[in-house]
Amino acid sequence: MTPVERPGPPRRAVLRLALGAGGVGALSACGLSVDDTVRPGLEIDAAQDREEIQYQPEPPRAGMTQAELVAGFLLAGASTGSGLSVARSYLTAGASSTWNPDDAQTVVQAQDLPQIRSVGDDTMRVRTRVAARIAPDGRYSLAKASDSADVRFGVSRVEGEWRISTVPEDFGRLLPSSRVDQMYRRYRVHYAAIGWNRLVPDLRWIPSDQEATRLVRAQLGAVPSYLAGAVRTDADARLTVDAVPVIDGVAQVDLRTDLSSDPTVRKNFAAQLVASLMQLPAVTQVALSVAGSTLDLPGIEPPLTSPAQFGFVEAGSPDGQYAIVREDERAVPVPLRQVGAATDTDVVARESPFADIPSRWSRIAVSLDGKEVAGVRGSGLELVRWFDDETTVPVEQFATDMTRPVYDASGVLWVAGRGDLDSSRLWVVNTAVDPSEPDADPAEVPAPWLTGRRPIAISVSPDSTCLAAISTDDGGGDVQIQVSGIARQPNGLPTSTATQALQVAASVEQARDLSWITPTTLGVLGRRTTDKAVRPLLVEVGGQIEALAAVASARSIATTGGERELYVTTSSGRTYSRVGASWSALGVTGTVVVPSS
């Protein structure tokens, strides 16, 4: 990771939250419409140079009604750091001692205003529609349109004034959407891929105070269940003291002595901490120690500033990769970086090393080096491989209802479909062996999370560590977008996915295609409740959604290198590229197929 330029101390603005006679109305004023989109801005790994707004909520005033008391508490609770001391002044001593918002769930309210009403002499009920939830571990989950929250608070008199005497154990905060980006920052925690010199990022939402400590806390502990088998960490690592001070730009992490004694595990874990902490604007290097003594990392010289010092690399660039342009039955390789400028004249002038691909093979994929093309027939029953020596190899039927295939960065060919007993499955083809050998036959990759689901589309992440899938129930409803880690042999061949998957973009009710855009972002052709039709969406894995301008009759989505190089192909076969906030037709009229799409 290249160190980024660090900004100076942010300007601070103070916004005082007043709660007067119209206390309930003040809370309602915070119930702004939730827009679950991500605005173009800084990359996750970049410094965040923006004005920091500090909220200083008002303490309870004399004579408050029960409803005004609860409204004031919810307003004051939508803060962090010193602002929580004000929130606690709305509670009895007993309730204050048990309420810890950082260890409970944060509910992000949707457009409807929260309803606060009495359901008894000493109980107040708060109901609201939910836009998203933020778990204690920082996991951000968008909610379905039907999701709602029902929270009940006990109230009692203390010296003649109403105070909240009981707070539900799982209640942390009720947060207006306008406060999410002010209270939380998006950061990646990192895990070492098994068998690869890659760090796999996992997106978390961290409250904006004590960020170094919070980020290390998020890094510690077991691997997330959806990555189990694909990555590893030192699950026994713990901080000596629950704090990570940052002094003169140095994040000082002191670990307990029960850190793993395995040198490789130690080195990998150190790389994970460095990669995570170097995202913080205030951090310029990381110092690691065990019980006060510098952590021994043979061959690694301080200062620790980048996971590259530990031998970890980022996913490769598009250099040397090829797309194909399909004109009728002719498939022509084009260097990936030249796709945007290619014209029909260019395509006609290029020779095709492939045999003709009949139009009935409509679901096409190309390997990164452009030397192999795979296609699934429109019926979903047949898979065929075409090679750049004009040979064609039909694969003996092994599945039905097959999705469009996809090649991952290691050259493995993936496809999902239905197998024996009409069960949903994943298969891979080892493209490194001769197609006539038994080792080239499709091999099933266990994916328990697909049980009872019907796969629609799949995509493999740029670092080959995760698989994303769109699936429905057997009736074609209950659309889900899921991500699961990929376990591999030392030779790179997949053995299974994780037993569980992470569901993302729950607000998407219809979806027809997806593709990885970055290691933490998916491009999805889908429709949310608020959308009139299917449109391109940028979906954070563990975060929010950005809706892009619609493309009529969009059928597939892909990228040649990030969200600014997106391509959408329509049902007529025409491909459009992203130009600012709109889309522009490419200079080639044939269908463009890019790797990993």
- Give pLDDT tens digits for 151-184: 999 999 999 999 999 999 999 999 988 889 889 9
Residue 524 CB-density burial (10 A; 0-12 exposed, 13-18 middle, 19+ buried) = buried
Q: What is the mean pLDDT of the chain?
A: 88
- State pLDDT tens for residues 225-239: 999 989 999 999 999
pLDDT score for 55: 63
Rg (CA), the chain: 26
**DSSP-assigned letter for residue 208:** S
- pLDDT of res. 195: 81
Compute the 3-state secondary structure of the chain and give helix, strand, coil in percent, each to the nearest 5: 15, 40, 45
Return d(Cα 305, Cα 567) in angstroms, integer.
Answer: 35
Q: Given a cut of 70, is residue 27 above it in pLDDT?
A: no
For residues 533 and 527, the answer to whether their CB atoms sit within 8 Å is yes
Enter the CATH code of domain 322-593. Answer: 2.120.10.30
Among 27-41, 80-94, 345-359, 410-424, which stretch is predicted with the lowest mean pLDDT? 27-41
Q: Rounded distance, CA 21 to CA 333, Å? A: 70
8 Å CB contact between 504 and 467: no
pLDDT at residue 6 tops 70: no
Q: What is the mean pLDDT of residues 133-138?
A: 93
Rounded CA separation 126/153 (Å): 8
| b/e per residue 354-385 (b: at least 16 CB within 10 A) | bbebeeebbbbbbbbebbbbbbbeeebebbbb
What does the DSSP assignment read for 69-103?
HHHHHHHHHS--TTHHHHHHTTB-HHHHHH--GGG
- Give the Cβ contact number of residue 125 at 10 Å: 15
Q: Note the pLDDT of residue 448.
A: 94
Question: Could you tell me what percent of the chain has a pLDDT over 90?
Answer: 76
Rounded to 10 degrees, the C-alpha dihedral 395/399/404/409 comes to -70
Q: What is the pLDDT of residue 79?
A: 86
What's the CA gap between 212 and 285, in Å, rounded? 12
Task: Determine the 3-state secondary structure of 215 from DSSP.
Answer: helix
The residue length of the chain stands at: 597
Predicted confidence (pLDDT) at residue 414 exceeds the cutoff of 50: yes
Q: Is 509 within 8 Å of 529 (Cβ atoms)?
A: yes
Tens-digit pLDDT profile for residues 443-462: 999 999 999 999 999 999 98
pLDDT at 11: 38
163, 80 in Cβ contact below 8 A? no
Please state, in angstroms and rounded to a whole number, the distance separating the CA atoms of residues 29 and 84: 20
CA–chain centroid gap for 30, Å, is 27
Q: Is 3.10.450 the CATH classification of the domain at 12-175?
A: yes
Average confidence (pLDDT) over 549-564: 93
Phi and psi of 583, rounded to 5°? -130, 145
Residue 112: the pLDDT is 66
DSSP 431: T
Pairing, β 285-290 against β 250-255? parallel
β-strand partners of 228: 231
What are the boundaries of each domain within the chain?
Answer: 12-175, 189-310, 322-593
For 506-525, the pLDDT digits (tens) are: 999 999 999 999 999 999 99
Is pLDDT of 30 > 50? no
β-bridge mates for residue 332, sequence order:
325
As given in the structure block, the two tokens for residue 265 are 């595990």
**Dist CA 465 CA 501 (whole Å):** 13
What confidence score (pLDDT) does residue 410 get? 87
Q: Which runs of E-coded beta strand occur in 176-301?
A: 184-193, 199-207, 231-232, 246-247, 250-255, 285-290, 293-294
Q: Which of 12-16, 107-111, 317-321 has the lowest mean pLDDT?
A: 12-16
Check whether 134 has a pLDDT greater than 60.
Answer: yes
**In 247-349, where does DSSP find H-type helix?**
263-277, 344-349
Q: What confidence score (pLDDT) does residue 246 get?
A: 98
Supply the pLDDT for residue 145.
84
Say what the pLDDT of residue 422 is. 74
Position 597 confidence tier, pLDDT thresholds 50, 70, 90: low
Mean pLDDT of 320-349: 93
pLDDT value of position 54: 58
pLDDT digits (tens, 9 = 90+) for 101-132: 989 999 999 876 789 999 988 999 999 999 99
Predicted confidence (pLDDT) at residue 546 exceeds the cutoff of 90: yes
